[in-house]
Amino acid sequence: MNWDKPKIIASTDLKMALNVGLVKYGLIMSSAFGPIISISSILGLALTVPESETALVGALLAPFISSFLALFAIVPATLISANSLVGEREQNTLEPLLCTPLTDNELLWGKILASAVPSLAILASSTVLTLTIPNLVLLFIGRPLVLIPDLPGIFLIATSGVIMVFAVIAVNILISGKVKRVYEAYQTSSAVILVFMLPMMLPMVSLTEGAIQPPFVWLVNIVTLFVSVVILLIGWVLALARFNRDKMIQQ
């Protein structure tokens, strides 16, 4: 497949999406809010607790920060894919696009790229910024370093975080013919990202003597990965069957 056409579709979709206030400001918020909250939380922790307790409290904070970064990075994929499918139908711009000589695969990959690339870029940059900026500050002032996201968190972000970006796109393809308004699509597909409540909250169950048990954190992250893969596979099996221009034009 020639990737030039999907890239053009992706670029056009992204430009159109950014003309929508909710998408534009959602993208800005996701880019800034996740890292800002994470970095300020880590620095607030590291600068206020005794140095001897930094690692302990950091372990408590790490699952929340990792899930938080993944959750916020997925928001752009939710907004852009909903706008790209349901929003275009609402604005009567989808049908002309579906009638072009582009293949179904070219159309589909264009939609995927438009939604996935911004989210993956935010996911990667947020993780790097959260790992580096607090530790540069702590190194400068001579305080103990804090690895957040920690190794289980990086695993969660690199696996479930990436997978859920593509899963939420599949969900929006599935619901594109079921909802009439783009805000309905936002609300429906946003429910999918609640899967990250698992690694955010469940590790607290293992809290013993003020410490979260690392094996339990790994277990929760692996379960989250399994759930993410199931959502991805089911979503895309159904979405690929659903993404048919003839059916979409008739709806």
Neighbour-count burial for 115-131, b at 16+ CB within 10 Å, e otherwise: bbbbbbebbeebbebbb
pLDDT tens digit at each of 251 positions of the chain: 677 777 877 887 788 778 777 778 888 888 888 899 999 998 888 888 887 777 777 888 889 899 989 988 888 888 888 777 665 655 655 555 555 667 777 777 888 888 899 999 999 999 999 999 999 998 998 888 888 899 999 999 999 999 999 998 888 777 765 666 766 666 776 777 778 888 878 887 777 766 788 888 899 999 999 999 998 999 888 877 776 655 554 55
Number of domains in the chain: 1
* Distance, CA of 57 to CA of 64 (rounded, Å): 12
pLDDT digit string, tens, across residues 118-140 = 999 999 999 999 999 999 998 99
* Distance, CA of 206 to CA of 228 (rounded, Å): 22
Residue 182: give the domain boundaries: 4-250
pLDDT digit string, tens, across residues 221-251 = 999 999 999 989 998 888 777 766 555 545 5
* Amino acid (one-letter) located at 11: S
